[in-house]
Structure 1
Amino acid sequence: MTVKLTFYDEGKAEVMLNRPDAKNAVNFQMIADLEIVLTELEQTESLHVVVFRGTGDAFCSGGDIRQFHQLRSADDAMSMLEPMYRVLVRITELAPLTVAHIDGPAVGGGAELAAACDVITGTSKAKAGFIQGRLVLPPGWGGSALLKSKLQMSDALYMLVSAEIFSADELLRFGFIQELADEPFALFKAAPEMISYHKKQKQPIPDLAEKMYADVLACAEFWASESHHAAVEEALTKKEGPAD
């Protein structure tokens, strides 16, 4: 499995992205595995906290560029964008408190996945960035809408248009990360019943799923552009070239 689900006492669960050799990049198999894990979480009663994290030295490096670059047209792209969009919508709708714990890079789609959670924590090694713009793409799984729902609009826009990767301290300043800690479960000291109570009081964001889907449609359109494919080819060439 590219995703591991572990249940703990006191209504806690952990979802571990498990492609460490690929820095936990999302491929088609991971999307399918996330769907299975989410169904199990949705059907499990008395859960209070679910932590999403990554195996190894990364949270998630985004979409698997080598696999997804085989998708050329907008329709091709939708075969990947829509299923992962649905995964993120389901995360936003989970009953327990959801926490993304970033211990290493969370870039591109990895930042989108983190943004789907209620709370984001990390270690001093945390790094995150919406770098899709470097590949002539908007966030394709709904991440632009999610980011704008979490941050001040000026900060959200800056993260999107700069396409930079930000340090843990910078992410704290933006409010993208709420707290730094080695183990996230220890941060939630309220009684489990109180965690569930406060999550239930969370006000839904009007039309969030529709706003996220607008990201999907925009990304599919840009995906088919020659400028996007050229940018990906250049990025792949740099990865395969000699080390500096």
Structure 2
Amino acid sequence: MESAELETLIIDAADNGVVTITMNRPKRLNAASPQMFTELRETWNEIGGDPTVRCVVMTGAGDAFCSGADLAADGGDGPRRHALQGLNVIHQTVSALYSIMVPVIAKVNGVAAGAGMNLALACDLIVASDQARFSEIFARRGLSMDFGGTWILPRLIGLHRAKELAFFADVIDAKQAEDFGIVNKVVPHGELDAFVDDWAGRLAAGPPIAVAMTKRLLTLNASADFAAALEAEGMAQSLNFTTEDTKEAVKAFLEKRPPTFTGR
């Protein structure tokens, strides 16, 4: 994937297969405008079809991750969308993120609220600065949760805890988010970039086919019965045994060296 700079996003593609997507509206705390939702959807769809991408890092410019949908933003000079049409764009956007086969790390450097919090939840791993803050802020705006939050959050932290965060719309700090099980790691703000770079590099160096199938199995089997989960695991593992990566892993183990994975 070639590096590109869009109206609301900055995309950096590293040589090791790590793509960093930076939401770039710092004066609005990276609030998601209609243009940003469109650019995010198109970018995630492009990444989904690019075999050179091994890992994605999502973050925000300045002092925020994403403060949610920009309720003050308009849709440009074209015809106004009905509310359901606008929400359909949001649904397509989060579906595109959720469908990416490679691991996605949310690097939360500041506030993540509303759709911004749920964008982080839709990623596979969340690493937060100790200065990060989280809120399902919808109720304060007279709104119900969206961007997939009603599906993801209770599966992550339990139904009653999810209702607590949704009903009261409180702002919680990074340590509380870690205690609730929302984030994987909280690190000092000055160490955030280095920590995420290390995790992203390790993921990018892993076996892409096996990691992709494990990601999909964990996602799908969260709502499957045990028998269906075992069947899906068997099918995925059978495919792994036909790949060059699995042969390379075994060979590297026997030769006592690190494996080199190619995604074949």
Q: TM exceeds 0.5?
A: yes
Structure 1 stretch displaced more, 106-115 or 140-149: 140-149
Among 217, 220, 223, the residue aligned to 1:205: 220
Q: Quick one: which amino acid aligns to residue 8 of structure 1? A: A
SS at match of 1:67: coil
Distance 1:155 1:41, change over 3 A: same
Name the counterpart of 1:14: 20
Among 199, 204, 221, the residue aligned to 1:187: 199
SS at match of 2:107: strand
Distance 1:186 1:207, change over 3 A: closer
**1:55 maps onto 2:61 in alignment:** yes
Cα separation, 1, equivalents of 2:27 and 2:33? 13
Structure 1 stretch displaced more, 55-64 or 195-204: 195-204
Cα separation, 2, equivalents of 1:185 and 1:121? 11
Matched-pair contact (CA < 8 Å) for 1:97–1:195 = no
Matched-pair contact (CA < 8 Å) for 1:89–1:116 = no
Shift of 1:195: 6.2
TM-score, normalised to structure 2, is 0.71
SS at match of 2:66: coil
The 5-angstrom pairing of residues 220-235 of structure 1 reads none
Name the counterpart of 2:4: none
Shift of 1:146: 1.6
Larger relative contact order (Cα-Cα within 8 Å, sequence gap ≥ 6): 1
Structure 1: where are the runs of 5+ without partners? 70-74, 209-244
Name the counterpart of 1:116: 122
Q: Quick one: which amino acid aligns to residue 20 of structure 2? A: E
**1:31 maps onto 2:37 in alignment:** yes
Matched-pair contact (CA < 8 Å) for 2:16–2:204 = no
SS at match of 2:22: strand
Cα separation, 1, equivalents of 2:213 and 2:136? 29
SS at match of 1:59: strand
Shift of 1:192: 1.9
Shift of 1:25: 0.5
Q: Quick one: which amino acid aligns to residue 54 of structure 1? A: G
The 5-angstrom pairing of residues 113-192 of structure 1 reads 113-181=119-187, 182-183=192-193, 184-188=196-200, 189=202, 192=205
Q: Quick one: which amino acid aligns to residue 206 of structure 2? A: E
Cα separation, 2, equivalents of 1:35 and 1:90? 6
Among 85, 95, 98, the residue aligned to 1:89: 95
Structure 1 stretch displaced more, 151-160 or 105-114: 151-160
Structure 2: where are the runs of 5+ without partners? 1-6, 76-80, 224-264
Instruction: Kindly name which structure, 1 or 2, has the bigger radius of gyration based on alpha carbons.
Output: 2
TM-score, normalised to structure 1, is 0.76
User: What is the RMSD computed on CA atoms of the aligned residues?
Assistant: 2.2
Structure 1 stretch displaced more, 77-86 or 110-119: 77-86
SS at match of 2:63: coil
SS at match of 1:187: helix
Shift of 1:174: 0.7
Shift of 1:206: 6.8
| Residue deviations 1:117-147 (CA, integer Å, cap 9, x gap) | 1111111111111010112221122211121
Matched-pair contact (CA < 8 Å) for 2:103–2:203 = no
**1:100 maps onto 2:106 in alignment:** yes
Aligned pair count reads 203
Distance 1:68 1:163, change over 3 A: farther
Name the counterpart of 1:229: none
Structure 1 stretch displaced more, 184-193 or 51-60: 184-193
Matched-pair contact (CA < 8 Å) for 1:134–1:163 = yes
Cα separation, 2, equivalents of 1:32 and 1:117? 18
